[in-house]
Amino acid sequence: QIIAVLAETAEHENRVAATPETVKKFTGLGAHCLVEKGAGDSAAFGDDDYAEAGATITDRKDAIAKADIIIGIQGIDPKELKGAKQGVTLAAALDPFGKRERIDAYAETGAHSLALEFMPRITRAQSMDILSSQSNLAGYRAVLLASTHYGRAFPMMMTAAGTVSAAKCFVMGVGVAGLQAIATARRLGAQVSATDVRSATKEQIESLGAKAIFVEDVEGIEGEGAGGYATEMSDEYKKAQAELVSSHIAKQDIVITTALIPGRPAPKLISDEQLATMRPGSVIVDLAAEQGGNVDGAVAGETVVKHGVTIIGARNITSALASDASALFARNIFNFFSAFWDKEDAKPIFPDDDEIVQGIRVTHDGKVVHERLLG
Ligand code: NAD
C-alpha cells in the first residue's frame, strides 16, 4: 500500500498528518509512504527526517497519483482526486457539515472517504480520537493565550513592593479541553472555578483543585445524553444557569468557554449584558467560536474588545502547537489504520458492519453513505 502524506493547503494550518515516527510504523506494516516535499516544515519535521524513516519525498501530483491511501489533517480539494486511483481511501478531518459540497464531490470521484472527527467515543477508538487529542492541547493553549492578553499576573505574588493577587479563572464546559484548561490555569497559579451541564464533571473539577459552580435547584438538571455528550437544556435550566453565571462572572478575570453540543450550534453562555458586568481588562477565550461561539460577539479567528473585555475567538488553535498536535494526530491516524490492517494482504480491510467504520465512513462506491449526511 502506498500512503500519501500531503502538505496542508488551508490557511493557518501548520500541522501535518504523519511524522517520521508514524512513517516508520507504517513502513513496519509493509506500507510505503510518499511525503509531499516540505509537508512537515511548519511542524518542524524536515524532509530528511521523513526520508530517514523510510519515506520517499516527492511532489504533490505524484503522491496523489500513486496513493492507495491519502492522509491529511484537513480534506483536499476534490478536483485533485481526479488524478488519483479509483477508490482511493482519503482519511482526514473532512468537516462534513461545514464542507458538505466537498463530500458530494468526493463521492463522485469514487473515493472511499473517512471523516476522522466522527470517530465514535468508545473505548476501542480512544487511541484514534483526533477530537480528544486536539482538544486537550486546545485547552492548554487557550489558557496561555488568555495569559498573554491579560495585563496582570496569574499567580499571587508577595513582593517587597506589595502583593499581586491571583487571577480568577472560570472554565465553562468541562470536557477534554475544559479539564486541561483547569489544570493549566491551576499550574499558572490562578484561582479556578468551572461549570458544566453534566453532573459527572463535578467530581472531576474538584479533583483538579478547582471549585465547581452548578445549577442545583432545577428539575431534570442532568445534561448528559448519548455517548457522554451534552444535550440541549430546558428553558428553565438555561434561565437558572444564566443567573448563576451572571453573579459569578462579574468577579472573574479570565473565562475559558468550551461548551459544545454535537450536531447543534454551540450554546450561548455569556450575553452582552453579562459582558458589561465584567471588569475592564478581563479576557475571554471562546474555544467554541468556530461552532458559533459561547460568547456574544465572539468571532472565530479574531480578537475583539467589548465593554473593555478582550474576547478571543479561537480558530484552529492547535496549529500554534503544530509539532505536538501533529505528533498526536499522526498517532491517532496510525492507530486507526493499524487496527484494521490485514497482515497477510498488507493492507487495511474495513468491514461494513464495524462500529468504527460505520462511524467515520462518509463516501463509498460513488455514494455519500453516512447516516448523519443522508435524508
Ligand atoms: P464537547 O467538546 O462535546 O463539549 C465540551 C463540554 O461542554 C462538555 O463537557 C459538555 O458537557 C459541555 N457543555 C455543553 N453544553 C453546555 C452548557 N450549556 N453549559 C455548560 N457546559 C456545557 O465534549 P468532549 O470534550 O468531546 O467530551 C464529552 C464527553 O465524552 C466527556 O465525558 C468525555 O470524557 C467523553 N469522551 C470519551 C471518549 C472515549 O471514550 N473514546 C473520548 C473523548 C471524550
Task: Tell me if 195 CB under 6 Å of ligand 1.
Answer: yes
Give catalytic residues, as residue numbers: 121, 126, 129, 132, 229
| pLDDT over 90 (residue 363) | yes
pLDDT in tens, 98-137: 899 999 999 999 999 999 999 999 999 999 999 999 999 9
Task: Tell me if 173 CB under 6 Å of ligand 1.
Answer: yes
337 compared with 12, residue with greater pLDDT: 337
Whether residue 85 contacts residue 362, with contact meaning beta carbons closer than 8 Å, is answered with no
Distance 176 CA to ligand 1 centre (A): 7
Size (the chain), residues? 375
pLDDT in tens, 135-159: 999 999 999 999 999 999 999 999 9
Residue 173: which residues within 8 A CB-CB, separation 6 or more? 195, 196, 257, 258, 259, 260, 269, 287, 288, 294
Distance 129 CA to ligand 1 centre (A): 13
Distance 175 CA to ligand 1 centre (A): 4
Within 20-129, residue ranges assigned H as helices are 20-28, 47-52, 60-66, 100-109
pLDDT in tens, 252-283: 999 999 999 877 889 999 999 999 999 999 99
Mean pLDDT of 67-82: 97
For all residues of the chain together, what is the average pLDDT? 94
Q: At 3, is the pLDDT very low, low, confident or very high (cuts 50, 70, 90)?
A: very high
pTM above the 0.90 mark?
Answer: yes
Q: Hey, what's the cell of 287?
A: 474555544
- How much is the pLDDT for 355? 97
- The protein residue whose alpha carbon is closest to atom 35 in ligand 1 is 228
Lowest mean pLDDT among 68-72, 151-155, 264-268, 284-288: 264-268
| pLDDT over 70 (residue 220) | no
Listed residue (179, 104, 129) closest to 362, CA to CA: 104
Task: Tell me if 359 CB under 6 Å of ligand 1.
Answer: no
Listed residue (320, 337, 359) closest to 134, CA to CA: 320
Whether residue 110 contacts residue 87, with contact meaning beta carbons closer than 8 Å, is answered with yes
Whether residue 221 contacts residue 136, with contact meaning beta carbons closer than 8 Å, is answered with no
- The protein residue whose alpha carbon is closest to atom 10 in ligand 1 is 230
Whether residue 110 contacts residue 365, with contact meaning beta carbons closer than 8 Å, is answered with yes
Q: At 235, is the pLDDT very low, low, confident or very high (cuts 50, 70, 90)?
A: confident
State which of 123, 124, 136, 196 you would mutate to test the pocket of ligand 1, scoring each by most atoms of that ligand within 8 A of its C-beta.
196
Lowest mean pLDDT among 7-21, 134-148, 211-225, 334-348: 211-225
